[in-house]
Structure 1
Amino acid sequence: MVGTILAFIAGLALAGVTFWISGGGLLGLGASAVVAVLGYVGVSYLTAPERKIGQLLASAIPNGQQAADTLDRARSCVDDMQRLIARTLDPQVRKEADDIVVATGSLIRFVEANPSSYDTLRHFINVYGGQSLKLLRGYVDVEHAGAPDQTERAKAETIEALQVLEKTAAGELSHAVESKRLALSADSDAIVRLASMDGYTADRETADGYAAGGNTAGGHKAGGYVAGGYASGGNDDHGKEQA
């Protein structure tokens, strides 16, 4: 609001200066109008608050503006859905719709923490967001029409579709997390390769122990690492003596 007022004042001030410099007349009036618009737009842009994703500035994140736009659209979609849920009378339909809101909220929170995954959320909102709202809006219209036989049929069809949508939202979250895990695996492999070039390799028994969810301390004692040809257990000197 403050930014809008400042932009308006700046536009008027620039228009007045332009009109005075140009000597008035129709030419001065036209130039003043153009300058006023440009001044308003420019000051509005400069005074606009910086958008954030979580605690980070959107401008400081790769594709941050696109991610912020996607999050805004997703939140707006959830808000619209909650308004429709509030108008829904049947408790079972409300529950299924609430499940979609929860699943979508989980996806939104993941993207807030991992903005690079915004494309998954954008796909879900683009493909299913509008359809979800259309479905609920149609059901609410039928429910409030006062035709019990049609309402029952609409209820069954709506619940089936809502259950599929909830699974879809959960699946999209799983895909987003999977992409994160694959990136982690790539980083892990890179570290292992670099370490092996320096003569350090993870002991197979220890790695298998971690993969199996075994005791961490036990894994260290049983395995350790192999470095420069020396097998190391819990104590480096002891490992050298054994070697």
Structure 2
Amino acid sequence: MTYCVGILLREGLIMISDTRTNAGIDNISTYRKMHVLADSDDRLILCMSAGNLSVTQHVLGQLAEGLPPVAADEPPRRIDHMPTMFRAAQLVGEAVMTAGSELKPALVAAGVSSGISLLLGGRIGDGPIRLYLIYDAGNFIECGADTPFLQIGATAYGKPILDRAMTYESALDEAVKVGLLSFDSTIRSDLSVGLPFDMVVMPADPELPVIRRRIEVDDAYFADLSRRWSMLLNESRATIPDPPFLAQAGIVQRH
């Protein structure tokens, strides 16, 4: 299992992924889930993955080598050649479908889970930043302003704070903080998700630098964020009135 989240705001894009892989309690290791599909002067396109590792690597291999051309006299189709993020998402979806048709029959016969899901985000040229969720069948949806985040993997524990705190108008630094709190909530409740985390922050203003950071186990900011969040949650809980129906029933709460 893994956990990845993409947050698309007016101010830019945040992508965060964990690095833990789990093939049973005796086979837990670290593997990067954030992959750079294109990084040049006119484009930066990132992909985060969850699910079967072999199928994911097959998809990434296809994208690196290029998918078969439409016509015999044309070059292989690569992410570097796509004119828009929508076309890039279509190409990735096609690679997912191809990998599924080639690998899944044998995996299913062996009783191995073969599903994958991907988050694809980035920008091409002067176009806007886009974020897509690509499903196991190769189809995809685009992130919108009404719900400005997409998740894959172990999504349940990190979703509540995103639902409560995240809007399309959120500031980029505030959204990074909330995104990391979403990961903190997840790793406390799901042992299949863990540090280090990989994070990329892509401002909407192309003149601003793209931030790329790996958050290690000993990262001082994340440790302080986790400690403060736990403390504030407990303080907030204590300020909420006790249930009045218990006092009415003669049950006195001890503090």
Between Structure 1 and Structure 2, the one with more helix by share is 1
Q: Rg: which structure is higher? A: 1
Q: TM-score, normalised by structure 2?
A: 0.25
Q: TM-score, normalised by structure 1?
A: 0.26
